[in-house]
Amino acid sequence: MSTSHPREERTLVLVKPDGVKRGLIGEIIHRLEQRNLKIIALKMIWATKPEMDKHYPKDEAWITRLGEKTKKTYDKYGYDLKGELGSTDLFEIGKMVRSWLVDFMVSGPVVKMVVQGVHAVDMVRKISGQTMPSLAEMGTIRGDYSVDSAAAANKEKRAVHNIVHASETPEEAKHEIDNWFTPEEIHAYKRMEEDIQF
Ligand code: ADP
């Protein structure tokens, strides 16, 4: 991990097109700031496909994991994986889900931001709630504002609309921040409560 002090941990947050179109940008920023997480870079963009393609990992393990998640949903709800997606190969299915995801992420503007604070990566994931909104706890962004599920999404062959993206690990955060921001676009400043809080 590249940061020296825990309060300097950084993560990347994207308000996905569904979050932007539903007017949830302010609510999301509010929830992050309320938890003493500091927004140190912020911009609205309408990404191109190649830009979004660079954002999501391309390694086999990550893609296969997406396929595994999808298979779990199909098993849970008794759907026919092969019948609906034409394959049972988890890597092939993962690639399919990844392409739905990229299509969704370029279907409208997104708001990208770098968020800094103690355990920023885990904190933002916690505030966001788990991937599938239908399972996300109340009080999380996904739990409070979405009811989408993989079952519904996969029936329609699209990505789950779950309002936000948040990096999963500090290493992933670094890769994602480098993908979306230049160092000059990231700003260091002190929030008032920093002297009191810690
Ligand atoms: P997270 O965004 O919580 O880190 P993942 O990295 O597993 O979740 O997946 C990336 C994104 O891909 C999710 O946020 C969601 O939009 C979409 N997604 C994941 N799994 C599926 C699936 N089975 N069907 C449709 N979309 C999915």
168-188 confidence digits (pLDDT tens): 999 999 999 999 999 999 999
- Show the domains of the chain with their CATH numbers: 6-188 (3.30.70.141)
165 given a catalytic annotation: yes
Most ligand 1 atoms within 8 A of CB, residue of 97, 98, 106 to mutate: 97
pLDDT of residue 179: 95
Active-site annotation holder among 5, 55, 165, 187? 165
Q: What is the tens place of the pLDDT at every residue in 5-49?
A: 888 999 999 999 999 999 999 999 999 999 999 999 999 999 999
Q: Three-state SS string across 166-182, please?
A: ECCCHHHHHHHHHHHCC
Q: How far is CA 153 from the centre of its chain?
A: 16
